[in-house]
Amino acid sequence: MKALYYEKYGDISVLKQGELDDPKVVPDEEVLIKVKYFGLNPLDYKLRSGMLKLMTFPTFPRTIGSDFSGEIIALGKNVKNFKVGDNVFGFLSQLNKGVSSQLLTANESILSLIPSNTDLPEASAVPLAALTSYQALVQLAKVRKGNKVLINGASGGTGIFAVQIAKMLGSSVTSITSDRNIRWMRDTFLVDNAIDYNQENFLDNLKNNEYDIIYDCYGNLSFNSVKNLLKSGGSFVTTDPFKLSNLIGMLVSKFSKKNFLSVIVNSNNTDLNVIKNWIEDGKIKIFVDKKYNFNEAHLAYKYLETQRVKGKVIVKVDD
């Protein structure tokens, strides 16, 4: 099968397009998927660069990407909930492989049918980022109606889902982005307040004891830098739990009435079905910034690595 893979950690230049062996067996609880699209996340370049090598198996060649959509073409003998021909989406925790190949085996417990009002390209842009923000805001921080939520990095992959989830559940949302995304935040996501992070000391202009939740899905805030903005009992949630300032924040929060929380996204179809239903009900929209062909995947990475993506970047897998 055709695949995009790397044989050593490094920059974009280590990515290769070539042939890898087809999966030989379909394990009993898994399905064989003809992958049609895969979506990119910062995790993918962090893995490829070797930054997370202590947390993954050093197995090479490694394919890239976590998010995928495609069609089921064979079933393991214990698979109960899917049939051949189903269009599914999900994300694979990349401990030893990614999803950038024409064929992929995946456990049925991480798969959902794609939302009926989307297509395979859009569906591939959803799982990891949407699940991260759902698990952070709903399951960890327990966002609810009337909350005031501050979202840093609101225009990125995780951010656009966070803003929509918080608004949908009745919160007042303040977004933090650069100037070029302020109007998009106001007009499309109907945020209550939009802040430009390039304004000098922009955090100092926010009211103290104002927010129930501060969700840092970009990763450059810390508990210490924003704890004054939180109400008593409020929560700071980060997507970057291993940064030194966040490890310190976790300790400091033990002596505070304000909470430090961190999310490590979990792939499962109970949560993915919640997201799927919200998309089908029109409560969450998908924003694909750019779509690339298989032989342009290095360009997709180059763009993602600018950290200026608006929504998501996806790649089409060759037939």
Ligand X SMILES: NC(=O)c1ccc[n+]([C@@H]2O[C@H](COP(=O)([O-])OP(=O)(O)OC[C@H]3O[C@@H](n4cnc5c(N)ncnc54)[C@H](OP(=O)(O)O)[C@@H]3O)[C@@H](O)[C@H]2O)c1
Binding interface with ligand X (CB under 6 A): 41-43, 46, 128-129, 132, 152-153, 155-159, 176-178, 180-181, 197, 217-220, 239-240, 263-265, 304, 307-310
- Report angle CA 268, 93, 157 to the nearest 5 degrees: 85
CB of 96 to ligand X, least distance (A): 18
Nearer to ligand X, 30 or 271 (CB): 271
Nearer to ligand X, 232 or 306 (CB): 306
CB of 190 to ligand X, least distance (A): 18
Cα 180 to Cα 7, 135, 157, 194, 199, distances in angstroms = 38, 28, 16, 11, 13
CB of 9 to ligand X, least distance (A): 16
What are the phi and psi torsion angles at 135 (to 5°)?
-65, -35
CB of 21 to ligand X, least distance (A): 30
Nearer to ligand X, 164 or 239 (CB): 239
Nearer to ligand X, 86 or 189 (CB): 189
Nearer to ligand X, 155 or 222 (CB): 155
Which token pair is 242? 């291993």
Q: Which residue is nearest to ligand X (CB)?
A: 156
DSSP 225-288: HHGGGEEEEEEEEES-TTSHHHHHHHHHHTTSSSEEEE------HHHHHHHHHHHHTTSS---E
- The Cα 177–Cα 181 span in angstroms is 6
CB of 16 to ligand X, least distance (A): 23
- The Cα 33–Cα 22 span in angstroms is 11
197: nearest Cα among 223, 172, 219, 165: 219
Residue 55, CA atoms < 13 Å, CB-side half-sphere? 12
CB of 28 to ligand X, least distance (A): 29
Nearer to ligand X, 31 or 128 (CB): 128
* Cis omega (within 30 of 0) for bond into 61: yes
Cα 71 to Cα 227, 245, 280, 281, 286, distances in angstroms = 46, 43, 19, 23, 20
CB of 43 to ligand X, least distance (A): 5
Nearer to ligand X, 205 or 232 (CB): 205
